Amino acid sequence: MPSEKSHPPIKIVGVILTYWTVSISMVFANKYLVGDKLSNKLDVSLFVAWAQCVSTVLVVVALVAFRRLVLGHDIELPPLSREILMNRDFLLLSCMFTGMLTFNNLCLKYVGVAFFQVARSMTLIFTVIFSSILLRRVSSLPVWLCCLIVAAGFVLGVDQEKVAGTLSTVGIMYGVSTSLFVSLNGIFTKRLLDMISKNQALAVTYYMNIGGSILFMPLLICFGQFSAAYSSRGTDFSFLLLLASSGVLSFLIGWASNMQIDYTSPVTHHISNNTKAVLQTLLAVFVYSEHKSAIWWLSNCLVVAGAFSYTMVKMREERLRREAEAAAAAAAAGANGKSDQLNI
């Protein structure tokens, strides 16, 4: 995997493995917590997402307190100023974040972990579309071809789920909705990062989960999930223990993701994420003893290949852009030099 930063290889490998472990553990934990469509227990998908938001906020507060009081670091909680809380981008990001968690858990309730990656594979396509609309970034033909490969994998995967008799139309709709909110969440996170000058990763994690904790409240009350969680899972010790653990995991996944980007590069992060998706699918098929057809596996390969190709295309385009900028700067410097000589 390409690396743009100088770190010992053993540390890079350790960070990548940490990201894989935390991310995959989070998916399997959420699958257990939200149950499945055949479960006779009451739906607590929204409650699980809310509890994880609250847990993440508490982890951030505890971490800052520990570093400040025990380690003596000069660090404080990100300020909850009116300028930030009432900022349009923060409010939109909180809505996108809440929608992303909501539909992610609902999708996981209706589809298996093995198909989960394909069900929400439209994220790349939505990201390209919204980057063109909201960020005014024109995408090249190779980028759209990569999106076409992903779309082909998605359609083929849905077809194979139907052939196998395991297709959930509701689950697919939730998966597409998740992709939509994931792409928008990424765009608005970038905008919020531009507002914050320090402790960016910690601050964005803190702000997003505070916003999510607040926005989930009316949804929980409206759908009666507080009472549902208490009546159906309130005395289930294993559920409560895993719920608390998933709250820590929800914090760690953001930390591990940022660490992976810091120790490697954004390109390597995308490659690692695609590799993790393959491992997650293989584990799910093994853990749940599922049998999949060759065409089903082909659909997964198309999704991963499209995402991987997109990463390679964007890396090449970025390199060409930097080379063009360097050539333009050199040409401008040369022209200025000749002008100075003529003026002597």
Asked whether the beta carbons of 68 and 75 are under 8 A apart, the reply is yes
Q: Do the domain assignments include residue 260?
A: yes
Residues 257 and 65: beta-carbon distance below 8 Å:
no
Q: Is residue 271 part of a domain?
A: yes
pLDDT for residue 296 is more than 90: yes
Tens digit of each residue's pLDDT (9 = 90 or more) over 163-216: 988 889 999 999 999 999 988 887 777 666 666 655 466 777 788 888 899 999
Q: pLDDT, tens digit, for every residue of 239-269?
A: 888 888 888 888 888 778 767 766 776 667 6
Whole-model pTM: value is 0.83
Asked if residue 263 is part of any domain, the answer here is yes
What is the overall mean pLDDT for the chain? 83
pLDDT at res. 342: 58
Tell me which of 342 and 19 has the higher pLDDT. Answer: 19
- Can you tell me the mean pLDDT for 111-136? 88
DSSP string, 183-221: HHHHHHHHHHHHH--SSHHHHHHHHHHHHHHHHHHHHHH
Write the CB contacts of 141 (distance below 8 Å, at least 6 apart in sequence): none
Q: 200-222 vs 169-195: helix axis angle to the nearest 10? A: 140
Using CA atoms, how far residue 342 sits from 76, 328, 339, in Å, is: 57, 21, 5
Per-residue pLDDT at 93: 84
Tell me how long the chain is.
Answer: 344
Long-range contact pairs involving 189-192 (C-beta distance under 8 Å, separation at least 24): 189/93, 191/89, 191/93, 192/87, 192/89, 192/90, 192/93
Q: What is the pLDDT of residue 199?
A: 47
CA distance 156 to 309: 19
| Residue 3 included in any domain | no
Q: Do residues 162 and 87 lie in contact, with contact meaning Cβ atoms separated by under 8 Å?
A: no
Residue 42 falls inside a structural domain: yes
Establish if 69 belongs to a structural domain.
Answer: yes
Using alpha carbons, select from 162, 31, 157 the residue that is nearest to residue 106.
Answer: 31
Which residue's entry shows tokens 């098929």? 285
Chain CA centroid to CA 6, Å: 26
In a domain, 341, yes or no: no
Domain tally, the chain: 1
Q: Given a cut of 80, is residue 135 above it in pLDDT? A: no
Q: Which domain holds residue 142?
A: 9-335
Given a contact cutoff of 8 angstroms between Cβ atoms, the answer to whether 111 and 119 are in contact is yes
Cβ–Cβ contacts within 10 Å for residue 79, how many? 12
Residue ranges in the chain assigned as alpha helix (H)? 9-34, 45-69, 82-85, 88-110, 113-119, 123-134, 141-164, 169-195, 200-222, 225-233, 237-263, 266-287, 294-343
- Is the pLDDT at 287 greater than 70, yes or no? yes
Token pair belonging to 225? 């999930």
Tell me whether residue 302 is exposed, middle or buried, using C-beta atoms within 10 angstroms of its C-beta: 0 to 12, 13 to 18, 19 or more.
Answer: buried
Q: Indicate whether 1 belongs to any domain.
A: no
Distance CA 105, CA 49 (A): 7
